[in-house]
Amino acid sequence: MSKQYFRNSLFIAMSVLLMAAAPDNDRSDKNAREPIAITSHRMEADKFGDKVTFTGNVVLKKEGMTLSSDSMVVFYDAGSKSIREIEAHGNVVVLKEGREAHANKASYFNREEKIVLTGDARINENENQLGGEKITQFLRDDRSIVEGGKVLMYQDKQGKPDARKSK
């Protein structure tokens, strides 16, 4: 396969991906969302156009959030061709507003704007740490649910000892 063909197919696939993630025309500017941008060393598009696989130093950027992983699979809704779900595998790191989340796997659900982290899932914010079997982050609401894990929180040392709490 020639380099020119690869560059053109990569450009076309990225264009389709960005158009699918673009906001709907009927939304007001206040609620409009930015497109999703993904970079990687390699990209492979499914013949039917409902799945795109990215491998090698994959980085996704969306509305102040950065998600990096070893590989990523983007699934499209067959009818609307909009992004339905994104699965990230291997060395997953999610950065958003001072929080850093780590896991072996992450699933991003576009409609609900949520990320489900599994496999040694943990979130660090300042010195505070959340860890569990499964962590669900709701991006719209800025909240998280930790299942089967523990929370380690530090309080200010203004006459109070460190608080360490386990669930």
Range of the domain at 123: 3-152
- Do 67 and 59 form a contact (C-beta atoms < 8 A)? yes
Q: Which residues pair with 38 in a beta bridge?
A: 60
Residue-level length of the chain: 167
Assessment of whether the complete model's pTM goes beyond 0.75? no
Q: Count up the domains in the chain and report the number.
A: 1
- Rounded Cα–Cα distance for residues 60 and 68 (Å): 6
pLDDT tens across 25-77, in order? 444 444 556 788 999 999 998 877 789 999 999 999 988 899 999 999 999 88
Write the CATH number for 91.
2.60.450.10
Residue 124 lies inside a defined structural domain of this protein? yes
